[in-house]
Structure 1
């Protein structure tokens, strides 16, 4: 760790990523690349990192599914409303607390120990200030919503903010070096803690406060493991030597994150004030269901996006090819999943949340279809942050926030269906803004994008034929039973695999590579287990 902080701009893993990563074309110049098996080892190691990242996200999603499915049967929509308003408040202050320091450590040209200590100091000061402000302002927020119980909720979650200065810098350094196995261990342990504490407390009758205590427990588990696995506790000594560089990037990044969080929660905040907490619970669960495709299929890719694009930018290479190729992969997964969700919204809601939430099915369908336009947004922030466009990323987030707020205020008077249409409109406007800004830093013609996405559109269309055929057989109704929904989903996945191969989509080769890495990782794990068992047998025999 010490050598990494004091040494060159790129760690060996980060440099190798630029040469070998299949999702981002180009990379570092070929000079100095090692031929033969060493280059292959680099590629295998990097894909193994991606494998760990995706696996960690799937474990977290599975745990979240268990938690949501359990709590949806234990808590009322109003009780969920408390957690949504609390999460909105915490999400907002979290952006202020982080102040972009994590992103700075990932994308910076060089990272010295002094820079890391400065980032820690900035985050520590802001965490103390934000946590104290939230603690003192909790009663005011609760009074605004006429919900006295929010005070205690916000007090508990404010304590969780104090762990951030110790967790975030350590995680940022691990991500910069693409050490996603360590990151996976930390995040899985945190997710297990959060889920276990929340569910157990809900079963014990803690109501909405179970969320707050679960968040607190998960935050401190994250901090403890991050410090342990990162290994260098000297970064936690206060310093302000690099404050100009940290604050310059962090100011814009923090503002962008704050605007993004506000845009995410503004509709729920408005619903809570103008309609009611039960409506907040309904609307937030609809949005949560619609976010599942991205969380299940794309979230494992996002932690590596900024480090990878930062390597490309530091090498002075164009990011356009990387952006277009990655977007081709993203749409091949995102579009079919969203169309399938729109068709299977009824059984999905029944499986995830239970019958009492059936009224949100139309909301899920509207929002899922609206999210089809979101593909330019997925890599917009990492690309802008990596290429020096963090100011434009902040402006994009601000414009989207203003649009979202105005549409939410205009549509709230007509109910939740109109709010869902407003969300779909906001996504489309955000996509236009993101695409315009991305093309400033990674110039390409719109025709190039359309050509690169045509096979993804074909894959989406072919895979959707299965639920549409079931819709026709079911009397032109999407009200499938849970078992029928599962069967249709399996059929759609099979159709998707066939479509990927029929269209010769670029994702086909990457799927084969991912499966190969997974097989190698599993074989390595089984080999370790067999070796340990053999050692144990020999020890027992000698005894």
Structure 2
């Protein structure tokens, strides 16, 4: 448990630091680039981002989950990753003229070629990183990821200032991948094999096909709107919707990304030791929900001052979109840790089927609602998230025997906590008027009032997160004393 807590600390530190740096980068770039420029890059990067989920074909999951690991298995995982990742890199570069023609945007050709560079570096980044993750060496992973994030930020901003427009964002990602490779070479595990093997890849691919497909389908829920709106509408609309989506995704992922990387190794460890995986999942969902749900509920009311403060008044139209999407992210987060649970228990096929059904509902909702405006599109996403929450609960009950009623009962403290934080924010809005007041003042008031309200509520509820906070404080006190 100590190693898991340490891994969680480093993982959270890494992800939160990267999120903070990403926020600073977004704030700067949002003032240097127009919504149309952001929209152009969003269309190209959305396609590439989906393929990024497939380039490892689950090799990382295989390396983490495999009970007995040797060099032959590592070389097979590397070989599969080389085949898939390099193949996708060539496909991206080769298909760029046709994609440009489909969207009637010649700029996509160059963007695709630049973004394809990372695919040729990925195998020798992802495999060592997965081995570090297997051993819960998240301090090294933190340094690797932070180095890449800093390189991305500096290079992107400098290139934009030099006049390279949205191409700067693509070059920033490629430069970041190069820096990440150099850092991996420094921190790589000892005696790791670098020569790929193209034998015995079936066992790796069996896990990878399911996990990668599920990841693509889930990731598409944040990228597909850009692709559909990009075809049916304008790049400015893509940029505006992408900004609203990005704001909400930043909030939810800022919390979940610090925990999610540890979820699969943790649940796998519980299962290997004969522990109760469902109990561990329920507690993890309760803890992460105690942070995610209130933040998103508050964000639904404060989206206007937040977006104006962080990105400038040229993005005001993204505020109502973000307010709606906050509810989408909230419902989506209820079972945000379910993919590691499916993978841990060997139910990958169920995970893919669930995500595929949700994706169909998701896409149909976007297409049918677009004619009514971007806010209607956002509401269609909320509906798809509710559908996904219900479907996931049913699938978990059917194939993993998760008891739904006890699970809902366990989440009641989060519901009460979220309702109180939302109500307090509504009261603040009555006195402050978020849409009319200075955004700095509005956000400052919320930032001052809500944390004490949250802490007092978890104390009164005797929430599990409060017990974790107490344990952390006691541990810090002991370390200071001794």
Q: Which residue of 1 aligns with 2:438?
A: 481
Distance 1:228 1:46 in 2: 24
2:226 is equivalent to residue 268 of structure 1? yes
Q: 1:344 to 1:324 in 2, by over 3 A?
A: same
Please list every run of at least 4 consecutive aligned residues from structure 1 whose deviation after the TM superposition is greater than 6 angstroms: 518-521
Distance 2:163 2:438 in 1: 31
Note the 1:236-315 alignment, pairs <5 A.
236-315=194-273
Q: Which residue of 2 aligns with 1:196?
A: 154
Q: 1:406 aligns with which of 343, 346, 364?
A: 364
2:54 alignment partner, SS class: helix
2:207 is equivalent to residue 220 of structure 1? no
1:236 alignment partner, SS class: coil
How much does 1:112 deviate? 1.4
Q: Assess if the C-alpha contact under 8 Å between 2:332 and 2:389 holds in 1.
A: yes
Q: 1:369 to 1:478 in 2, by over 3 A?
A: farther
Distance 1:367 1:479 in 2: 22
Q: Assess if the C-alpha contact under 8 Å between 1:363 and 1:417 holds in 2.
A: yes
Distance 2:249 2:217 in 1: 19
How much does 1:61 deviate? 0.9
Distance 1:500 1:95 in 2: 37
RMSD: 1.9
Distance 2:15 2:148 in 1: 12
Distance 1:391 1:409 in 2: 27
Q: Assess if the C-alpha contact under 8 Å between 1:268 and 1:280 holds in 2.
A: yes
Q: Assess if the C-alpha contact under 8 Å between 1:51 and 1:518 holds in 2.
A: no
Distance 2:37 2:212 in 1: 30
Q: 1:207 to 1:471 in 2, by over 3 A?
A: same
Report the TM-score when normalising by structure 1. Answer: 0.85
Note the 1:327-406 alignment, pairs <5 A.
327-406=285-364
Q: 2:8 aligns with which of 50, 64, 89?
A: 50
Report the TM-score when normalising by structure 2. Answer: 0.95
Larger Rg: 1
Paired residue total: 481
How much does 1:260 deviate? 2.4
Q: 1:517 to 1:358 in 2, by over 3 A?
A: farther
Q: Which residue of 1 aligns with 2:80?
A: 122
2:433 is equivalent to residue 433 of structure 1? no
Q: 1:333 to 1:276 in 2, by over 3 A?
A: same
Q: Assess if the C-alpha contact under 8 Å between 1:466 and 1:488 holds in 2.
A: no
2:426 is equivalent to residue 468 of structure 1? yes
Q: Which residue of 1 aligns with 2:18?
A: 60
Q: 1:174 aligns with which of 127, 132, 152?
A: 132
Q: Which residue of 2 aligns with 1:186?
A: 144
Q: Which residue of 2 aligns with 1:419?
A: 377
How much does 1:478 deviate? 4.7
Q: Which residue of 2 aligns with 1:513?
A: 471
Q: Assess if the C-alpha contact under 8 Å between 1:346 and 1:479 holds in 2.
A: no
2:67 is equivalent to residue 109 of structure 1? yes
Distance 1:190 1:512 in 2: 34
2:39 is equivalent to residue 77 of structure 1? no
Q: Assess if the C-alpha contact under 8 Å between 1:464 and 1:492 holds in 2.
A: no
Q: 1:492 aligns with which of 450, 460, 471?
A: 450
Q: 1:326 aligns with which of 284, 287, 295?
A: 284
Provide, for residues 484-541 of structure 1, a one-character-per-residue CA deviation record: whole Å limited to 9, x for no partner: 22222221111101111111101111123344566789x79xx9xxxxxxxxxxxxxx
Q: Assess if the C-alpha contact under 8 Å between 2:396 and 2:402 holds in 1.
A: no
How much does 1:399 deviate? 1.1
Q: Which residue of 2 aligns with 1:25?
A: none
How much does 1:62 deviate? 1.1
How much does 1:116 deviate? 0.8
Distance 1:446 1:257 in 2: 24
Q: Which region of structure 1 is more displaced relative to structure 2, 138-147 or 280-289?
A: 138-147
Provide, for residues 273-325 of structure 1, a one-character-per-residue CA deviation record: whole Å limited to 9, x for no partner: 11111100000110111112222222100110000111122234332111111
Q: 1:223 to 1:518 in 2, by over 3 A?
A: farther
Q: Assess if the C-alpha contact under 8 Å between 1:227 and 1:233 holds in 2.
A: no
Q: List gaps (5 residues or longer) in structure 1.
A: 1-19, 21-42, 528-543
Note the 1:92-171 alignment, pairs <5 A.
92-171=50-129
Q: Which region of structure 1 is more displaced relative to structure 2, 225-234 or 281-290?
A: 225-234
